[in-house]
Amino acid sequence: MSTDGEEIGATPGSAPRRTLVRGPQNPPTAEEALLDPRQGFLHPQEERDGPERLDPRLRALISVKLRTASSIGIGFFAVLVLAYLGLALSTDGGLLAWVIPGLVMYPLIIAVGWFYLRRVLSYDQAYREERDA
Amino acid sequence: MPEVLAVSSTPVLVSVVLVSAVTLLVSAYGVRLSRSTGDFYVASRRVSPRMNASAVAGEYISAASFLGVAGLILVEGTYGLWFPVGYTAGFLTMLLFVAGPLRRSGAYTVPDFVTLRFASTRLRVLTVMIVVLTGWLYIVPQLHGAALALSTTARLPDWAGPVAVVLVVLATVMPGGMRSVTIAQAVQYWIKLCALLIPLVFILLRLGVLGGAQGSGEGPDFSAVWEGSGLGFGDFYRTVSLILALMLGTIGLPHVLVRFYTNPDGDAARRTTFLLLGLLSAFYVLPVAFGVIARAVLTGPEAQVSPDTAVLRLPSVIFDGAAGDLLTAVVAGGAFAAFLSTTSGLVVSVSGVLSQEFFGGTVRGFRIAAVLAVALPLAIATATSHVALAGAVAMVFTFTSSAMAPLLLLGIWWAGVTAQGAFAGMVTGAAASLVSMALGLALGEGAAGAMFFMYPALWCVPVAFAAAVVVSRLGSGSPPADTVRVLSRLHLPEKR
């Protein structure tokens, strides 16, 4: 990523020179746009020479994450639908029809999110340990 | 034309100017930190989860959340309660399926992600069109909300609110891009929270709910709110379709997605999303409480007149004189913060995409694109009349859940999806949802079968997924050659 600027206060033989920075004038390159230096495992060269098939350990990691996420996502949607049906069937659903969607659902969403975050971080950690072993 | 409130316009104008001034000052601070193209587009990917969660919440809580939810509860009762549940659950979907992998893609924008994953120019162009259309469709209700709020509380003409929002947003976005917008949006979340919380505490004290001394006259009868207001099977299809649209539509909102590119890594993006669940839950209890109180207090025929102004009306209905004026001003200031933060997020995302596509991704191009991003919505908002805020935003969620969710979910999680399949899913979802909603609006809400067309997510989303899967499986295309490498990048955990 380059920046255009103009030298100010420069005299012959003096160093370093001060540069007035005007900000970037050029677009980011594809490398800048699509590669993050913090990507630990993959680098452009590795990617060009990389494997054609997913590493079995990585495939297993993706599968377990997808299974967990799908179970929680579909399960939570089902809970919402069943809660609605239960409230619609209830003959005494007046107050509950307000309290459940108005108050009860929010702690439930946070709890489900916390559960998933813990699980997925532990999956990642187990993958790192297995890979580094 | 909405009813004008009998409050002094001076405190409202002071409040709006104050919110604008705080936004501009905070943005100016961000400009001092903004030094590179990376700062402009993704705040150099160094935004912490706490800051980013506040910024996403600030951006996400729009006119529909701040004003629309309470109005919907006032008019439709328990049906309105499912909107904030769906809004919040949308970020559960984001946490489960999108946040971490999307951040690890390293993209600047959604079309960048599509290029990385599918290497298809045709699909990238379609994504650009969908992102820009989504942004424009979402900005219009914000500007309608601004017109409504300022004409109701400050007696300004209808064009004044949208023009004020656009001017402040451009002044915020153009100098510092994502870097300055991030800080401003984070502050705006807390402004919005306080703008509802403070009046709510005073209102509850006044009504005796929190044990305070009740004012003159009898308090409202809350039992009348609960009684006879149970859920019915008639609303089942509408509610379930709405929840699905909100849960999946959130992951297709470009202004929300672009914020996850600003986190340092995938884990930080996940933590941001989890913190968001807490911030949104804390906020959404407030408009729900306002809606319940409005249903108990605004029992006359005026309740049906412009229900989106219920939050603005309540303080002056419950308090007389200066107290009512001041609390109305606080709420109006919070509403203005909602219009500013959501619009600025949308402008940043649309400008980023337009700039990358048409102006070479330069900072100058970003600034030109920012003007283009607001020009058409401003023209539409000033030329059209106000529609129900929550309903208008729900339509945008329906559109993104049908058009964007299949692309993102299959692109992140399924190695077998082809560019042709993703294209087919996107076109099918976008066309089906837009045609269906247009048909529903043409039929009118009371017509037989109108609900099926006005809330089409329950069938549009599966149809879009099916189109993507069938074309990927049976079409002539094959998955991109570097699918394995890209999926590895999306799912590999960061080094420790």
B36-75 per-position pLDDT tens digit? 666 666 565 678 888 889 999 999 998 889 999 999 999 8
Those of residues 70-89 in A touching chain B at CB distance below 8 A are: 72-73, 76-77, 80-81, 84-85, 87-88
Tell me the chain A residues in contact with residue B271 when contact means C-beta distances shorter than 8 Å: 117
Sorting pLDDT into bands at 50, 70 and 90, what band is A18? Answer: low
Interface test with A, best of B42, B45, B74, B85 (most A CBs within 10 A): B85
B236 CB near a chain A CB, below 8 Å?
Answer: yes
At A2 the pLDDT is: 40
Per-residue pLDDT band for B83 (boundaries 50, 70, 90) equals very high
Percentage of chain B modeled with pLDDT above 90: 53
- Predicted confidence at residue A130, as pLDDT, reads 86
> Is a pLDDT exceeding 80 seen at residue B224?
no
Report percent pLDDT > 70 for chain B. 91
Local structure of residue A49 (DSSP, 8 states): T
Contacts of B423 (CB under 8 A, 6+ apart): B120, B122, B123, B126, B471
CA distance B419 to chain A (A): 18
Q: Is A1 near chain B, with CB under 8 Å?
A: yes
Contacts of B127 (CB under 8 A, 6+ apart): B110, B111, B114, B407, B426
Least confident of B81-90, B283-292, B340-349: B340-349
Q: What is the ipTM of this complex?
A: 0.90
Choose between B159 and B364: higher pLDDT: B159
The answer to whether the beta carbons of residues B279 and B255 sit under 8 Å apart is no
Q: Are B436 and B162 in contact (CB under 8 A)?
A: no
- Nearest chain B Cα distance for residue A118, angstroms: 10
Prior bond of A16 cis (ω within 30°): yes
Question: Which residues from chain A sit within 8 angstroms of residue B356, using beta carbons?
Answer: 27
Q: Does B208 touch chain A (CB under 8 A)?
A: no
Indicate yes or no: pTM above 0.95: no
Burial A50-60 (b: 16+ CB within 10 A, else e): eeeebeeebbe
Q: How many CB atoms lie within 10 A of CB B122?
A: 11
Q: Using DSSP, state whether A20 is helix, strand or coil.
A: strand
Instruction: Give the model confidence (pLDDT) of A111-123 as tens digits.
Output: 999 999 999 999 9
* Residue of chain B whose alpha carbon sits nearest to that of A88: B231
Chain B residues whose beta carbon lies within 8 Å of the beta carbon of residue A109: 85, 88-89, 92, 277, 281
Cβ-contact B180, B31 below 8 angstroms: yes
Q: How far is B365 from chain A (nearest CA, A)?
A: 9
Compute φ and ψ for A38, nearest 5 degrees.
Answer: -85, 0
* Region B448-470 average pLDDT: 94
Residues of chain B in contact with residue A26, where contact means CB-CB under 8 angstroms, are 37, 360, 362
